[in-house]
Chains A and B, each alone.
Chain A
Amino acid sequence: MFTIGKLAGLTDLTTETLRYYEQEGLIVPDAKSDAGYRLYRPESVQRVGFIRQAQQCGFTLADIRELLALRTDEAACCGDVRRLAIEKKLQIEGKIRVMKAMSRALDALIHDCSEAGHPVVECPILAALEKSSAMAP
């Protein structure tokens, strides 16, 4: 069995992060030592690796909790996991679309401000932002 410090070292995480994972219901200590310290089985390294990998793919901790539950749900099928992955992709693609629109808006502002030597009071970027904030509800 590993202590939380050992598990943190093996997974390149801090003990605070592991405690947060526990608070979020993602990991549970397998036992406690006589002194009351959390103890984890070696399989916990794999579970923490799963959580980190899923986070890197954009899954939130709530999503990961669902994925972990599906992993042990005998009634679940691969299609359930696939659906979650597709939903995550839809969210990411939606964000990319918004970011691209923001990038295009910035392109237009940058294009309008071709005179970098203008005094700041004549800055077309600031003027455009001012104008759009005045138009906002």
Chain B
Amino acid sequence: MKVELFYSPGCGRCTDAQNDLKVATLAIVRDLEWRELNVIEELDYAVELGVLTLPAIAIDGELVFTSLPTKGQLCAALSDRRPGGA
């Protein structure tokens, strides 16, 4: 599975929250590809996925969160998308 986090660089508070989320998620979900995309550098892709607010998270190429989720919300969304469901 692939998680793509679109962010706007320059916000220290966001970076801390994103790092916490990444560490917690990688610890729980195995075989996870975690990508952090600077939205300015990946604007076309962000627009293609329908990203309108930041930070945003896509799972396997589908926009799922339009703001930073909690660790529980992200893990639940990943679990729902695993083959065979939660």
In the assembled complex, A89 has its CB within 8 A of some CB on chain B: yes
In the assembled complex, A30 has its CB within 8 A of some CB on chain B: no
In the complex, the answer to whether B47 meets A87 with C-beta atoms within 8 Å is no
Query: B residues within 8 A CB of A87?
Result: 52-54
Of B16-24, B25-33, B38-46, the one with at least 4 CB within 8 A of chain A? B38-46
Query: B residues within 8 A CB of A86?
Result: 8, 39-40, 54
Query: B residues within 8 A CB of A80?
Result: 11
If over half of B's interface residues share one DSSP class (helix, strand or loop), that class is named, otherwise mixed; here it is loop
Query: A residues within 8 A CB of B14?
Result: 79
In the complex, the answer to whether B39 meets A90 with C-beta atoms within 8 Å is yes
Interface size on B, residues (CB 8 A): 18
In the assembled complex, A122 has its CB within 8 A of some CB on chain B: no
In the complex, the answer to whether B10 meets A94 with C-beta atoms within 8 Å is no
In the assembled complex, B51 has its CB within 8 A of some CB on chain A: yes
In chain A, residues 64-88, which have Cβ atoms closer than 8 Å to a Cβ of chain B? Answer: 77-80, 82-83, 86-87
Known contacts A77-B11, A82-B8; decide if A93 and B47 are in contact (CB<8 Å): yes
